[in-house]
Chain A
Amino acid sequence: MTEKLSNAQIAWRAAQDIKDGAYVNLGIGFPEMVAGYMPEDREAVFHTENGVLGFGRNPAPGDEDWDLINAGKKAITLRPGAAFFHHADSFAMVRGGHLDVAILGAYQVAQTGDLANWSTGPKGVPAVGGAMDLVHGAKRVAVITDHVTKHGEPKLVEACTLPLTGVGCVTKVYTSFAVIDIVDGHFVLREKLPGLSFDDLQSQTGATLHTDGDVADLTVPEL
Chain B
Amino acid sequence: MDKRIATLAEAVSGIPDGASVMIGGFGGSGAPIELIHALIDRFLETGSPKALTVINNNAGNGHVGIAALIEQGMVARMVCSFPRSADPRVFTERYQSGEIELELVPQGTLAERIRAGGAGIPAFYTPTSYGTDLAKGKPVEEFDGRPYVQERWLKADFALIKAEKGDPYGNLTYRMAARNFSPLMATAAARTVAQVSHLVAAGDIDPEAVVTPGIFVDGVVEVADPQQEEELNRAGAHHP
Contact = CB atoms under 8 A, between A and B. Distances in A.
Interface of A: 48-52, 65-69, 73, 84-88, 90-91, 94-95, 114, 119, 125-133, 136-137, 163-167
A104 to B, nearest CB: 14
Q: Which of B30, B112, B130, B132 has the most CB of A within 10 A?
A: B132
A145 to B, nearest CB: 19
A68 B46 CA distance: 36
B127 A137 contact: yes
B132 A86 contact: no
Interface string B145-172: 0000000000000000000000000000
Given A67-B29, A125-B91, A127-B84, A86 B107 contact: no
B50 interface: no
Interface of B: 26-30, 81-86, 88, 91-92, 95-96, 102, 104-112, 114-115, 126-134, 174-184, 211, 228-231
B184 A91 contact: no
Given A51-B180, A125-B95, A165-B132, A130 B127 contact: no
Given A50-B26, A69-B29, A166-B131, A130 B107 contact: yes
Given A69-B29, A95-B126, A167-B131, A88 B104 contact: no
Tell me what chain B mostly uses at the interface: helix, strand, loop, or mixed: mixed
A142 to B, nearest CB: 18
B84 A66 contact: no
B5 to A, nearest CB: 23
A65 B81 CA distance: 24
Contacts of A49: 107-108
A86 B25 CA distance: 11
Contacts of A52: 176-177
Given A86-B182, A127-B81, A94 B231 contact: no
Given A66-B230, A132-B134, A163-B133, A85 B179 contact: yes
A128 B126 contact: no
A88 B112 contact: yes
A52 B179 CA distance: 10
B179 A132 contact: no
B175 A133 contact: no
Contacts of B28: 66, 69, 73
B178 A67 contact: yes
Contact of B177 (A67, A88, A119, A129): A67
B112 A91 contact: yes
B108 A130 contact: yes
B132 to A, nearest CB: 5
A130 B181 contact: no
A42 to B, nearest CB: 25
A89 B72 CA distance: 34
Q: Which of B88, B102, B107, B184 has the most CB of A within 10 A?
A: B107
The 5 A-B pairs at the shortest CB distance, nearest first, are namely A91-B108, A133-B108, A167-B131, A87-B111, A66-B230
A47 B124 CA distance: 25
A129 B107 contact: yes
Given A73-B230, A84-B174, A88-B112, 9 more contacts: A50-B26, A51-B26, A66-B230, A67-B175, A86-B211, A127-B83, A129-B81, A136-B128, A167-B132
Contact of B111 (A48, A67, A90, A137): A90
A77 to B, nearest CB: 11
Nearest to B230: A66
Nearest to B85: A73
Contacts of B106: 128-133
Nearest to A88: B115
B230 A130 contact: no
Contacts of A129: 81-82, 106-107
Contacts of A127: 81-84, 104
A86 to B, nearest CB: 4
Q: Which of B134, B174, B178, B180 has the most CB of A within 10 A?
A: B180
B180 to A, nearest CB: 5
Contact of B107 (A84, A85, A87): A87
21 contacts: A48-B177, A67-B176, A69-B28, A69-B230, A86-B181, A87-B108, A88-B111, A88-B112, A88-B115, A91-B107, A91-B112, A95-B127, A114-B131, A127-B83, A128-B104, A130-B81, A132-B109, A132-B128, A132-B134, A166-B130, A167-B132
